Amino acid sequence: MSSADSLWAMCLLLIADGATFAFFTTPLLLRYGQLHPAWQVALAGSVSSAIGSVLQLLILRWALRSGSPWMRRFAPSQEKLASTLALYPAASFVALMVARATPLPDAPLKLVAAAVGYPPALYGLAILLGALPYYFALAWVGQVIKIPAWILVAAAAAIVLGAGLDWWRKRRRRVTS
């Protein structure tokens, strides 16, 4: 087994993934589930994703408070923040935990948590507890169904391409409006 196949490598990848866009979590867990016991992948992966998610929360919080013109490009608009706050008035511990325990996107709750100053340690704990069963299930599926690495890489590439196309469509729509 190479060092790229170690749990440490998975942990570093999941921290980076959690701190950024979290596009690769599912393919990573499916892949490392083939290499290690599901409980180890779930536990190490959940802790790593929680660390990455807390980093992302802190970065997002900083972006929302930043007055830098270059950061305004990356921070959500005031309209988007207001609409998200209207849809999700409270980023509670249980809501964060349940959102992380499903494959559904949790970006709106992250945005609310950053905007309302949700405590990073509590946020990380909610992510960790929510991720444990979900990550175990994905790692177990990776053990039972040996999905070839090239398919996982292709799936990750398709996710990134889809997200990029969605961003481009929304941006084009805003420009033409």
Q: What is the pTM of this model?
A: 0.79
For residue 162, which amino acid is it?
Answer: G
**What is residue 60's predicted lDDT score, i.e. its pLDDT?**
86
The whole-number mean pLDDT for each consecutive block of 10 residues of the chain, a chain of 177 residues, reads: 83 92 87 94 96 93 76 63 66 84 82 84 94 96 86 79 78 72
Total count of residues recorded for the chain: 177
> What residues contact residue 80 under an 8 Å CB cut-off, 6+ apart?
111
Return the H-helix or E-strand segment holding 101. Answer: none
How many Å apart are CA 35 and CA 41, to the nearest integer? 9
Contact (CB, 8 A) for 30 and 142? yes
The full set of domain ranges for the chain reads 3-146
Return the H-helix or E-strand segment holding 149. Answer: helix 149-176
**What is residue 23's predicted lDDT score, i.e. its pLDDT?**
79
**What is residue 78's predicted lDDT score, i.e. its pLDDT?**
65
**What is residue 126's predicted lDDT score, i.e. its pLDDT?**
93
Contact (CB, 8 A) for 96 and 114? no
